[in-house]
Amino acid sequence: MKDLTHIYELERLLQDAHNDLVRQARAEGEIAIGSVCSLIPEPLLNLPGCFSVRLRAPRTGSIEMGTYYMTSIMCEACRAILERAIEGGYQFLDCMLAPDACAQMNRCVENMEKLQLCSQEHFFVTYADVPMKSDESALRHYVRQMRQYVLNPLAEHFRIDTSDEALREAVSLHNRICGLLMEIAAFRAEDNPRITGYEFAVLCLATYCCPKAPLIPILEETLAQLPERQPDPHSSCRARVVLAGSEIDDPELIRMIEEAGALVVADRFCLGAFPGREEIRLRENEDVLTGICRHYMEGGQCPRFMNTEKIRDRHEYIHGLARRFHADGIIFQQIKFCDYWGYERAYGTRVMREQYGYPVLSIDRPYAVGNAGQLRTRVQAFVESMEIKKLKEKNVNLR
Amino acid sequence: MGKAMGSEPLGSFYCGKKAKKRREWRGLKDTWYDYVHWLGIWKTLIGFMLHLNNLRAFFRYRWMVNYLAVPDFFDRHTEGLRGTQLRITRTALELVVTDMCKSMGVMFRADPALGNDRALNEKLVVFDENMMSELMNGFPNLKWVSVEVPAVYTCAMMAQDSLFYYLDKAQEYGIPNDVCPMPAAEFGVALEDDYPRIGKCAVQCNTTCDGSLMGNGLMASLMDIPTFQLAVPIRHEEDSVQQYAAEEIRNAIAFIEKHTGRPLTGRLSLPP
């Protein structure tokens, strides 16, 4: 297929946390907010005058210093981010607004704070308590916490406008990005999609890691290009999969999966499109902040939501994606040493296989995937097993 | 060192075969005290096993076999102790044993596979082992039990290798071997259906850790009774979370009242 116009530009931006768009925004006086978790609603971090940068550690090699502070049995993503912070990779941040969500990411951020790894004079960190359930009590608490630990500090330290009008403007910007990405994602439901999972991941990830406004023209041009783009007549991918699980902040993992024969048609992981890029629908009779929090609470797919209804909803959500994008199977992946996804992956794999009848590949992986031969082999074997299953079904139908 | 404190060499006593033949010598007075209480523990255990439900439970639940190590557990924790130290340790641990015997006695009596006391079962509320039982002080007509404590917690105290089987089962299911083993073992017990299936309803919470949060959530899916998951804020001493914490306690109380039909009695001292 012909290359997407902006793909190389976005790949280059993703090589560095302090990339050109971030530099440009800061030069224009905007506040850079470090984000480590989807449970702090993005619109609150992208009010007029500020922008969020989801922390990642691209091109990670050794994580020895991160391991020194956090031990070798903690999430590799958290260690890699701490390592990058120790190396000075996040000096540009004006603040970090973190939730008390995952204990390991908490330790990472606390280490960053204690070691004073961000050099901006006014740098500060807050920790908000975020819901573990989806109900009205949790929503009220969520709203109070976001007001106290996100909006108020932004207003006090940086004079950011946190009025309802500013929140609506932020939601509007967020929805514009989401709308464009979802229109692009719709092409992935085609029999022979004209955009690969890797390409989509690059587009989507850029919207988490860079200021959003400059990306709108890029996404619009990409969307305009797609209807004319001719897919390869014979794709090398022999099966379609929904990719679910923990953080994937390196599109190379998706490229590796697709090179092994599995086309990623939907991304149900942190930093993916589902649910992170679903538009926020505000209710008329509800204040804006509550509406935003309600969207993130009710739509959140993080395994940290522990009530039984949410656990069932997560499985149903993946099933919905698999149907919508005509997936043949599901790949559940997690970064090693993640407690949340260790349990969720085990249970989800069982449920999706036994109750929903999907072929499922369940893997845990290092943070830095590189050219992980073992991973590639497992995906290849999984693709073959799905092909065999399809052949058998075809034979049965013929008889 | 042992000689300096008037003790026999404990390394050779407990690593060799002498411990199978006699008690540790602690001087006449303390050895007599220790011996009498050792007999007392056997009396407690034999008395516990003389109840038919408890005897049957020994053969129904794999984890019960670990309680054969109770006398050894006492010896491990009183090695070299004398005087007041010995007495404090013995008293504290004996309270654990008697409390566990009472608690397991209640569970096995209500257990449909054993005693099948349905009237008792109607009064039981199952709490997870980290859930704050003080809540049940407001329900004098109900009993709270924690099925995880005898199956996992105290078993591991008695015999450190008691949970390997359940960890294996959890890992066979797909739980990675790098997660905390405590909730993994609890989940393994649930997978093997090795918890008494008792209680009108259950209350879990997310403490103490992410592993507990996740393990409890999965166990709630496997358990066959209504379960309330109480969300405890992480930074629980902060003022900003007290209101939510109080609300969650009220929600838990309302849940218990709804499923047991018994109201909370007495006054609650909670923030508004």
pLDDT given for residue A106 in this prediction: 94
Question: Low-confidence residues of chain A, pLDDT below 50?
Answer: none
- Give the model's pLDDT for residue B254: 95
pLDDT-derived band at B44, boundaries 50, 70, 90: very high
3-state secondary structure of A112: helix
Q: Model's pTM, two decimal places?
A: 0.92
CA-wise closest residue to A352 among A268, A259, A264, A239: A268
pLDDT for B162-195, tens place per residue? 999 999 999 999 999 988 899 999 999 999 999 9
Taking residues B228-253, report their average pLDDT. Answer: 94
As beta bridge partners, residue B126 has B145, B202
CA distance B87 to chain A (A): 40
ipTM: 0.89
Q: Which residues of B touch A (CB under 8 A)?
A: 173-176, 178-180, 187, 206, 209-211, 213-218, 220-221, 227, 229, 231, 233-235, 238, 240-241, 243-244, 247-248, 251
Chain A to chain B Cβ contacts (< 8 Å): 106
Q: Residue B267 above 70 pLDDT? A: no
Predicted confidence at residue B2, as pLDDT, reads 64
CATH architecture of A19-166: 3-Layer(aba) Sandwich (3.40)
Please tell me the predicted confidence (pLDDT) of residue A86: 96
A window 321-360, beta carbon within 8 A of B: 336-337, 339-340, 342-347, 349-350
Whole-number pLDDT of residue B221: 83
| CB within 8 Å: B210 and A306 | no
- Residues A48 and A311: beta-carbon distance below 8 Å: no
Average pLDDT over chain B reads 91
| Contact flag A343-B229 (C-beta cutoff 8 Å) | no
Q: Which among B210, B238, B247 has the least Cβ separation from residue A339? A: B210
Domains of chain B: 22-116 (no CATH), 122-272 (3.40.50.11890)
Contact yes or no for A144 and B215 at CB 8 A: no
Span A71-112, pLDDT tens digits: 899 999 999 999 999 999 999 999 999 999 999 999 999 999
pLDDT of residue A371: 63
The pLDDT, as a whole number, for residue A233 is 79
CATH 3.40.50.11900 residue spans of chain A = 234-398
Answer whether A148 touches B (CB < 8 Å): yes
pLDDT score of B253 more than 70: yes
Task: Please tell me the predicted confidence (pLDDT) of residue B270.
Answer: 60
| Partner-chain contact A304 B234, CB within 8 Å | no
Q: For residue B172, what is the nearest residue in chain A, using CA coordinates? A: A346
CB–CB contact B173 A346 (8 Å): yes
The full length of chain A comes to: 399
Which of A5-14, B89-98, B205-214 shows the lowest mean pLDDT across its residues?
A: B205-214
Residue B58 makes CB contacts below 8 A (sequence gap 6+) with B49, B64, B65
Q: Domain A234-398 class?
A: alpha beta
- Name the strand (E) or helix (H) holding A363: strand A360-365
Q: Is B11 a residue whose pLDDT tops 90?
A: no
Report CB contact under 8 Å: B240, A362. no
pLDDT confidence of residue A369:
81
Per-residue model confidence (pLDDT) at position A231: 87
Residues of chain A neighbouring B211 (CB-CB closer than 8 A): 339, 343
Chain A residue whose CA is closest to B174: A346
CATH code 3.40.50.11890 region(s) in chain A: 19-166
Contact assignment for A133 to B175 by CB distance below 8 Å: no
Give the separation between CA A119 and CA A165, rounded to whole angstroms: 32
Report yes or no: A394 at the B interface, CB cutoff 8 Å: no
Q: Do A100 and B206 touch (CB under 8 A)?
A: no
Range B205-213 average pLDDT: 87
